[in-house]
């Protein structure tokens, strides 16, 4: 039986897809590591499936533009997404929207996985922006033989200015459920690796900001990338939500 494995990036928005009752449901605190707090709750998706939503929040020394540019940077994407062999950005012609294809080469016995995400950035007020993402179908990246397509991915980054050039980041994500691996086995890996991925992302952004490489990258000079930290458990099994 094929196993569905999903490694977070980043990845990554959702249009309103929960019932009102789900919106009011409280999160359960899971734990905190590397100054990243993790929560979860069960919600009803738009196709009436019961799915798990994970939420993480942390602080980052950055501005809005820097975070968005790291998400759009093809060369950086493979650094903070463990096992990502392809991280490709497709333009849509709209300044606040882009498409992201990610393929993951995973160790045996896991099958390789990929996903195609649509991102939309929206200014909510002077202090907050949202970057929403969701999986979509597109003829540019058809389903490949031997590669599992991750479906039902939805989530968002909520970025809010606080103080001293810091942002509070709230990240949420869901995906279609899978029943091939029991939760008692997959849950610890999902939790640990989501935190590890977000920690890697934060390190990339802050490294770029401190060296001024994001704005300098417009010159066409390729920056020296910061290598993402390794984690004992490599695979983010978000596909097993």
Residue 6 resides in a domain: no
Residue 7 lies in a domain: no
Among 93-97, 112-116, 140-144, 227-231, which stretch is predicted with the lowest mean pLDDT? Answer: 227-231
- Residue 134 clears pLDDT 90, i.e. is over it: yes
Instruction: Report pLDDT for 18.
Output: 36
Q: What is the mean pLDDT of residues 64-79?
A: 91
Over 70: is that where the pLDDT of 163 sits? yes
- CA dist 111 and 18 (Å) reads 30
In a domain, 231, yes or no: yes
Question: CATH number for the domain including 40?
Answer: 3.30.530.20
Q: Which segment, 147-156, 183-192, 219-228, is predicted with the most confidence on average? A: 147-156
Question: Does residue 8 belong to any structural domain of this protein?
Answer: no
Q: What is the mean pLDDT of the chain?
A: 77
Give, as one character, the DSSP assignment of residue 219: G
Range of the domain at 132: 20-240
Q: What is the mean pLDDT of residues 121-139?
A: 93
Count of structural domains within the chain:
1
The tokens for 105 are 């080469």
Band the pLDDT of 184: cuts 50, 70, 90: low
Q: Is the pLDDT of residue 220 over 50?
A: no
pLDDT surpasses 90 at 70: yes
Is residue 14, in this structure, part of any structural domain at all? no
**119 located within any domain:** yes
**Residue 11 within a domain:** no
Q: Three-class SS of residue 193?
A: helix
Question: Per-residue DSSP letters for 109-164?
Answer: TSPEEEEEEEEEEEEEETTEEEEEEEE---TTSPPPTTEEEP---EEEEEEEE-ST
Is residue 158 domain-resident?
yes
Question: What was the pLDDT predicted at 155?
Answer: 94
Average pLDDT on 71-90 reads: 88
């Amino acid at each position: 039986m094929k196993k569905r494995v999903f490694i977070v990036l980043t990845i990554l928005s959702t249009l309103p897809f929960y019932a009102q009752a789900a919106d009011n449901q409280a999160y359960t605190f899971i734990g905190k590591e590397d100054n990243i707090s993790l929560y979860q709750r069960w919600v009803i998706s738009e196709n009436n499936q019961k799915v798990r939503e994970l939420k993480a929040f942390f602080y980052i020394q950055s501005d809005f533009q820097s975070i968005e540019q790291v998400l759009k940077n093809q060369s950086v994407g493979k650094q903070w997404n463990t096992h990502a062999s392809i991280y490709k950005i497709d333009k849509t012609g709209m300044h606040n929207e882009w498409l992201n294809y990610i393929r993951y080469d995973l160790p045996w016995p896991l099958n390789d996985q990929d996903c195609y995400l649509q991102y939309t950035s929206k200014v909510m007020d002077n202090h907050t922006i949202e970057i929403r993402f969701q999986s979509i179908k597109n003829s540019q990246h058809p389903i490949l033989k031997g590669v599992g397509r991750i479906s039902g991915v939805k989530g968002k980054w909520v970025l809010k200015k606080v103080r001293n050039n810091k942002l509070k980041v709230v990240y949420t994500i869901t995906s279609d459920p899978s029943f091939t691996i029991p939760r008692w086995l997959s849950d610890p890996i999902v939790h640990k690796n989501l935190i590890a991925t977000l920690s890697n992302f934060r390190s990339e952004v802050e490294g770029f900001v401190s060296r001024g490489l994001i704005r300098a990258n417009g010159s066409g000079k390729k920056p020296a990338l910061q290598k993402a930290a390794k984690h004992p458990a490599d695979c983010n099994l978000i596909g097993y939500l």
